[in-house]
Amino acid sequence: MRNYDWPKRLRQIFERAAESYEGGNHKPETLFRAEEAQFLQSIGCSTQELFDFVEDFCRGGEPEFETVLLITAVRRDYLLAVQSGQPSGKTQPMDCFPPKDAELAGIRWLPRLIAKARAKLRGELPPELMYGCGGDRPFLRGVNVEPSDFLRVVWAAGEDTQRIVDYVLKSRGGMPQ
């Protein structure tokens, strides 16, 4: 992998995939070329994940590429720094994620998002689950936290969930939702 210009390569893949998606290619297994899939794997991004970002962007205008890049950069950093470039090879089962209506400190969605962020960092999200999905983005916007910043906070907090809760409360001004 070329480390110096990986963001540029990701942008090229994202833009080509968006063009292909808008042209009618709506299948994650055919949206990316083999060399693109290999590159994505090398930076800790699955083709399903980038497909989901492209699909949401084409259908609703978000997330924009800059958000995708920032999220991918955190995952790539975690892959390189914590996992020594070696993915865990695991996928978390769907039933290990809290339901959408679960609450923590009176904040709906937060338990689910924390679990998704931890799995995202490790590269263990199941294909049917997306970090930064159409539910995550409004939640994060509502608590005034950029998606990649939330990933960094979760990484820094480790298993200290209260540290994450405190960050979210401080970011939104400590007011209940």
Confirm if 96 and 115 have CB atoms less than 8 A apart: yes
Contacts of 78 (CB under 8 A, 6+ apart): 44, 121, 122, 155
Domain ranges of the chain: 1-87, 88-177
pLDDT at 25 over 90: yes
Which amino acid, residue 163?
R
Question: What pLDDT is recorded for position 6?
Answer: 96
Over residues 71-119, the pLDDT tens digits come to: 999 999 999 999 999 999 999 999 999 999 999 999 999 999 999 999 9
**Segment 134-162 mean pLDDT:** 96
Interatomic CA distance for residues 125 and 9, integer angstroms: 23
pLDDT of residue 4: 87
Q: Alpha-carbon distance 13 to 37, whole Å? A: 9
**What is the spatial distance between Cα 156 and Cα 81, in angstroms, rounded to a whole number?**
13
In this predicted structure, what is the pLDDT of residue 2?
A: 67
23 pLDDT more than 90: yes
Q: What is the mean pLDDT of the chain?
A: 95
